[in-house]
Amino acid sequence: MRGRRIRILAAGAALCAGVAGACRGRQEERTVELHVGVTYYNQSDTFLNELIGCFKDELVKLEDSGFETALTVRDAAGAKRTQDDQVQELIDAGCNILCVNLVDRADPSEIIDLAREKDIPIIFFNREPVAEDMMQWEKLYYVGADAEQSGMMQGSLAADLIRCDEHVDRNQDGKIQYVVLEGEAGHQDAIIRTESAVDTLKSNGIVLEKLSCGIANWNRAQAKNRMMQMIGQYRNQIELVLANNDDMALGALDAYEELNYQGSALPVFFGIDGTDEGLKAVREHRMHGTVYNDKEGQAAAMAELAAALICGKEPVEMPFENEKYIYLPYYKVPGDSGLPENRNP
């Protein structure tokens, strides 16, 4: 098991503005201790590593508002049992807020029971529990994004390119032969992203022909393998690769690279996330567009919510849906700019 513990001592913690200020007595000047325990499903996940990096930065920022923050991060390495044990361990270590990225999003009951016993709120993130589980206790929250929106944006980016570049339809048969690389089965983002991307392409008048679809579990190496198989089967017929995330789009590119496909022999590739590598591939015109999964916004929402909860404050000013859910918007990253559209830097 791997983990890291970062302890940041409040520098002075002078006048505590905002949320922390509300925790204090009128004249009293003291810091508020916020010890966050994070457990996430797998440390090999690129997007989550970047998101957790942003979350660390957000906790450091809270120091300026009079919080003394500490963060303990655990990798559950894809095992639910490990994650359940980690939650117990984080509670024993004194964490007063838990941020949980579930290994098994359909089975959070043990984690909820452990937290409830010690009255420690849970902010689930990125892997959304089912609605009934979110109702198990009032101190359960979710921070994430709307899968359908990301699929629609991916579909619309692909439709724009297909409409303005006749070369995408390489065999000029009036249809776009495509393949899909899908994330983990059972993940809220996988199926919905695929369906809404395909529906959006169709509703934009693009005639599609599906050649194949493979599950690659969000993973670049698995996507490369799947893509190698698909190329073996369909040779140069594939004109469009829709991937549920950037890592899988990059894995598809790796496969074509290994087989020495170049220039006009390549299909067009679309991802989702806007990871560092994904954005780089868009800037280099190797990927033709992606959709920015706002890790900074999600991390900021998690930190703000954690701060409010530790003060026992109702976080009323946050943009909740159904009182428990915060969904940050996605942003299109078209191939010509390589930058998230309409997003404040």
Alpha-carbon distance of 139 to 151, in angstroms, equals 30
246 versus 304: smaller Cβ distance to ligand BGC:
246
71 versus 180: smaller Cβ distance to Ca ion:
180
* 67-75 and 268-270 beta bridge pairing: unpaired
Alpha-carbon distance of 103 to 81, in angstroms, equals 9
Q: Is 165 in the site for Ca ion (CB under 5 A)?
A: no
Q: Which of 47, 124, 141, 269 binds ligand BGC (CB under 6 A)?
A: 47
Q: Name the minimum Å distance from CB 210 to ligand BGC.
A: 22
Question: Residue 22 is encoded by which pair of tokens?
Answer: 């509300």
Residues 6-35 that bind ligand BGC (CB under 6 A): none
Instruction: Decide which of Ca ion, ligand BGC, none touches 50; Cβ closer than 5 to 8 Å per partner kind.
Output: none
167 versus 285: smaller Cβ distance to Ca ion:
167
Stretch that binds Ca ion, among 100-108, 151-159, 172-180, 221-229 (CB under 5 A): 172-180
| Helices within the chain (DSSP H only) | 18-23, 46-62, 80-92, 109-117, 131-134, 147-164, 188-203, 220-234, 246-258, 276-283, 295-310
**Backbone phi and psi for residue 101, each to the nearest 5 degrees, phi listed first:** -105, 100
Q: Is 272 in the site for ligand BGC (CB under 6 A)?
A: yes
Instruction: Decide which of ligand BGC, Ca ion, none touches 173; Cβ closer than 5 to 8 Å per partner kind.
Output: Ca ion
Q: Is 245 in the site for ligand BGC (CB under 6 A)?
A: yes
Q: Name the minimum Å distance from CB 240 to Ca ion.
A: 9
**Gyration radius from the chain CA atoms:** 22
Q: Is 45 in the site for ligand BGC (CB under 6 A)?
A: yes
Among candidate residues 53, 97, 35, the one with its CA nearest the CA of residue 295:
53
Among candidate residues 224, 232, 266, the one with its CA nearest the CA of residue 248:
224
- Per-residue 3-state assignment (H helix, E strand, C coil) for 74-93: EECCCCHHHHHHHHHHHHHC
Number of residues that bind ligand BGC (CB under 6 A): 12
State the DSSP string of 255-274. HHHHTT--GGGS-EEE-SB-
33 alpha carbon, distance to own chain's centre: 27
Q: Which of 64, 148, 169, 254 binds Ca ion (CB under 5 A)?
A: 169
Residue 85 Cα distances to 9, 103, 132, 142, 299, angstroms = 28, 12, 23, 21, 24
| Per-residue exposure over 120-148, b if at least 16 CB sit within 10 Å of its own CB, e if not | bbbbbbbbbbeeebbeeeebbbbbbbbbb
Stretch that binds Ca ion, among 119-127, 165-173, 242-250, 334-342 (CB under 5 A): 165-173
x/- map, 107-126, ligand BGC, by CB under 6 A: -------------------x
Q: Name the minimum Å distance from CB 88 to ligand BGC.
A: 23
Q: Is 171 in the site for Ca ion (CB under 5 A)?
A: yes
Q: Name the minimum Å distance from CB 41 to ligand BGC.
A: 6
63 versus 189: smaller Cβ distance to ligand BGC:
189
Q: Name the minimum Å distance from CB 289 to Ca ion.
A: 19
Q: Is 302 in the site for ligand BGC (CB under 6 A)?
A: no
What is the identity of the amino acid at 29? Answer: E
Q: Name the minimum Å distance from CB 51 to ligand BGC.
A: 9
| Contacting positions for ligand BGC (CB under 6 A) | 45, 47-48, 126-127, 187, 189, 218, 245, 272-273, 293
